[in-house]
Amino acid sequence: MSEYRETRTVVEEVPIQRARPVVETQHESVVHESRGMSGGEVVALVLAGIAAAVVITILILNSQQRETEDQLAIERARAAAAQEQQPAQTSPQQPIVVVPPSQPPVVQVPVPVPAPSQPAPSTTAPTNIEVEVDINSKLLDDQDLRSQSIDVKFNAGIAVLSGRVSSEELKTRAERVAKTVKGVRSVINNITVQAN
């Protein structure tokens, strides 16, 4: 059997004389309660989000690759079926040789030269688009008209101007500029004057 010992300690209370009174203060206990997430938890969530995004991207790319492979297989099957439907040729075709004919004799044809008193024949007339571009270029070259809102349409020798300008003088100047362009026979000025 085991031995059992008993020890007794006696403490005597001795009054202590104090020179200063003891003031007991009571402090409220401070409880530190953590709210939110720790840095490690945030990092873990970010890494989990990145991993999920990578997995989703891989799945999408894999699906697209499968679709592409399926389409390629369908095209190959169509090509194979088309080749099977064509009759097989028993003998290879002989190459075709083209021999150029001999050169015909050169006959010199006189070319009429315009006389100095005659004007040289004009080149082809400019297209509607070319005339519109020329009118717009001239309007942009004018320092005051450049900042105005002017639209140009041209058809069959007639230039139609529309839009807004800030003065009557600018409206008249735009019409004069349009008339200077080659190919413009008349100008219809539908520009409105709108003071700022």
Predicted pLDDT at 156? 86
Predicted pLDDT at 79? 79
pTM, whole model, 2 decimals?
Answer: 0.38
Residue 187 has pLDDT above 80, yes or no: yes
Round to whole Å and give the CA distance between 135 and 151. 10
> Mean pLDDT over all residues of the chain?
78
Taking residues 58-86, what's their average pLDDT?
84
Round to whole Å and give the CA distance between 79 and 86. 11
3-state secondary structure (DSSP) of residue 72: helix
- φ/ψ region of 57 (left if φ > 0, alpha if ψ in -120 to 50, else beta) reads alpha
pLDDT digits (tens, 9 = 90+) for 73-113: 888 888 777 777 765 555 566 776 666 666 556 656 666 66
Residue 160 has pLDDT above 80, yes or no: yes
Predicted pLDDT at 77? 84
Length of the chain: 196
Higher pLDDT, 39 or 142: 142
